[in-house]
Structure 1
Amino acid sequence: MGVKGLVSKGLLLACLVLPLSPALAEPARIPDTAMALAAELRKRALDSRLSYEIVESLTTEVGPRLPGSPGDAAAVAWAEAKLAALGFDRVWTEPVTIPAWERGQAHAHTTSPFPQPLHVTALGNSVPTPDGGLQAEVAFFPSLEALQAAPPDSLAGKVAYVGQRMWKTQDGSSYGAVVPMRSKGAAEAAKRGAVAVLIRSVGTDSRRFPHTGVMSYAEGVPRIPVAALSNPDADQLERLARYGKPVKVHLDLTPRTGPATQTRNVIAEIRGREKPEEIILIGAHLDSWDLGTGAVDDGAGVGVVTAAARLIRDLPQRPRRTIRVVLFAAEEIGLLGAKAYAAAHADELPRHMLATEADFGAGRVWRLETRFGPESLPLADRFMSALMPLGIAKGGNEAHGGPDIGPLRAAGVPVITLTQDGTDYFDLHHTADDTLDKIDPAALAQVTAAYAVAAYLAAEMEGNLRPAGE
Structure 2
Amino acid sequence: MSFTLFLVFSIAHANNFEQDIEKIKQSALTDEHAYHLIESLTTEVGARLVGTDRSNKAIDWAEKKLLEIGVTQVTKQAVKVRDWQRVSAEATVTSPYSHKLVVTSLGGSVPTPETGIEAEIIRFSSIEHLKTAEKSDVAGKIVYIAKKLIQDKTGDDYIKTVQGRLEGAIVASQLGAKALIIRSITTDNSRIAHTGSVQYLADVDKIPAAAISPADADLLDRLFSRNLTPKLNLKLINTETKWLDSYNLIADITGSEKPEETVLLAAHLDSWDLGTGALDDATGVGVVIAALKQLLDAEVELKRSLRVVFFTDSLFKQNGALEYIKAHKDSLNQIVAATEMDFGSGLIWRLDTKIASSSLKFADAVHTRVSDLGVERGHNNSTSSTNVAHFIPYEVPVFHWVQDASNYFKYLHSANDTFDKVQLNAVQQNVAVLSIFSFMVANSDMQFKLNSSDKQ
Task: Please report the TM-score for the alignment, with normalisation by the length of structure 2.
Answer: 0.94
State the alpha-carbon separation in 2 of the partners of residues 241 and 374 from structure 1. 52
State the alpha-carbon separation in 1 of the partners of residues 323 and 64 from structure 2. 22
C-alpha change, 1:468 and 1:32, in structure 2 (3 Å) is farther
Is contact 2:338–2:398 with CA below 8 Å preserved after alignment? yes
1:355 corresponds to which residue? Answer: 338
1:36 corresponds to which residue? Answer: 19
One-letter amino acid matched to 1:141: F
Deviation, 1:300, is: 0.5
Q: 2:242 aligns with which of 247, 255, 259?
A: 259
Q: What SS is found at the alignment partner of 2:264? A: strand
Is contact 1:369–1:397 with CA below 8 Å preserved after alignment? yes
| CA displacement 1:164-196 (0-9 Å, x = unmatched) | 111101010000111111011111111222111
Q: 1:58 aligns with which of 36, 41, 64?
A: 41
Which segment is superposed worse, 52-61 or 397-406?
A: 397-406
| CA displacement 1:433-461 (0-9 Å, x = unmatched) | 00000011111100111111111100011
Deviation, 1:404, is: 1.0
1:364 corresponds to which residue? Answer: 347
State the alpha-carbon separation in 2 of the partners of residues 317 and 193 from structure 1. 62
**How many matched pairs?**
441
Deviation, 1:32, is: 5.4
1:153 pairs with 2:132: no
Which segment is superposed worse, 242-251 or 88-97?
A: 242-251
1:97 corresponds to which residue? Answer: 80
User: Pairwise mapping of residues 1-20 of structure 1 onto structure 2 (< 5 A)?
Assistant: none
State the alpha-carbon separation in 1 of the partners of residues 334 and 206 from structure 2. 43
1:219 pairs with 2:202: yes
1:189 pairs with 2:165: no
Dislocated runs of 4+, deviation >4 Å: 467-470
State the alpha-carbon separation in 1 of the partners of residues 378 and 303 from structure 2. 27
1:136 corresponds to which residue? Answer: 119
State the alpha-carbon separation in 2 of the partners of residues 246 and 388 from structure 1. 53
1:309 pairs with 2:292: yes
One-letter amino acid matched to 1:289: W
Deviation, 1:347, is: 2.2
State the alpha-carbon separation in 2 of the partners of residues 197 and 294 from structure 1. 25
Deviation, 1:469, is: 8.4
User: Pairwise mapping of residues 206-285 of structure 1 onto structure 2 (< 5 A)?
Assistant: 206-285=189-268
Which segment is superposed worse, 370-379 or 41-50?
A: 370-379
Deviation, 1:366, is: 0.5
Is contact 1:97–1:263 with CA below 8 Å preserved after alignment? yes
State the alpha-carbon separation in 2 of the partners of residues 394 and 423 from structure 1. 19
Deviation, 1:246, is: 3.3
Q: 1:374 aligns with which of 357, 367, 385?
A: 357
1:435 pairs with 2:418: yes
One-letter amino acid matched to 1:36: Q
One-letter amino acid matched to 2:181: L
State the alpha-carbon separation in 1 of the partners of residues 201 and 395 from structure 2. 31
2:30 corresponds to which residue? Answer: 47
Q: What SS is found at the alignment partner of 1:103? A: strand
Is contact 2:395–2:450 with CA below 8 Å preserved after alignment? no
State the alpha-carbon separation in 2 of the partners of residues 251 and 200 from structure 1. 15
Is contact 1:105–1:254 with CA below 8 Å preserved after alignment? yes
| CA displacement 1:263-298 (0-9 Å, x = unmatched) | 100111222222222211111011111110000011
One-letter amino acid matched to 1:88: V
Deviation, 1:103, is: 1.1
Q: 1:463 aligns with which of 425, 434, 446?
A: 446
| CA displacement 1:64-84 (0-9 Å, x = unmatched) | 111111211111111111111
State the alpha-carbon separation in 2 of the partners of residues 264 and 57 from structure 1. 20
State the alpha-carbon separation in 1 of the partners of residues 397 and 186 from structure 2. 31
State the alpha-carbon separation in 2 of the partners of residues 403 and 379 from structure 1. 25
Deviation, 1:88, is: 0.5
1:318 pairs with 2:319: no
Is contact 2:20–2:300 with CA below 8 Å preserved after alignment? no
Q: 1:390 aligns with which of 344, 355, 373?
A: 373
Deviation, 1:381, is: 2.0
Is contact 2:359–2:446 with CA below 8 Å preserved after alignment? no
State the alpha-carbon separation in 2 of the partners of residues 148 and 350 from structure 1. 39
1:406 corresponds to which residue? Answer: 389
State the alpha-carbon separation in 2 of the partners of residues 242 and 81 from structure 1. 56
- Extract unaligned runs of 5+ from structure 2: 1-12
- Extract unaligned runs of 5+ from structure 1: 1-29
1:8 corresponds to which residue? Answer: none
2:5 corresponds to which residue? Answer: none
State the alpha-carbon separation in 1 of the partners of residues 276 and 161 from structure 2. 24
One-letter amino acid matched to 2:91: A
State the alpha-carbon separation in 1 of the partners of residues 227 and 452 from structure 2. 66
One-letter amino acid matched to 2:83: A
State the alpha-carbon separation in 1 of the partners of residues 441 and 193 from structure 2. 40
Deviation, 1:113, is: 0.8
Identity across matched positions, percent: 38
Q: 1:162 aligns with which of 145, 156, 163?
A: 145
One-letter amino acid matched to 1:283: A
One-letter amino acid matched to 1:390: L
Deviation, 1:308, is: 0.5
| CA displacement 1:230-252 (0-9 Å, x = unmatched) | 10010011222233233111111
Is contact 2:336–2:447 with CA below 8 Å preserved after alignment? yes
User: Pairwise mapping of residues 193-208 of structure 1 onto structure 2 (< 5 A)?
Assistant: 193-208=176-191
Is contact 1:296–1:429 with CA below 8 Å preserved after alignment? yes
C-alpha change, 1:32 and 1:281, in structure 2 (3 Å) is farther
C-alpha change, 1:242 and 1:455, in structure 2 (3 Å) is same
One-letter amino acid matched to 2:44: E
Deviation, 1:424, is: 0.9
Q: What SS is found at the alignment partner of 1:261? A: strand
Higher relative contact order (CA 8 A, sep 6+): 1
Is contact 1:68–1:263 with CA below 8 Å preserved after alignment? yes
Deviation, 1:467, is: 4.4
1:22 corresponds to which residue? Answer: none
State the alpha-carbon separation in 2 of the partners of residues 327 and 469 from structure 1. 32
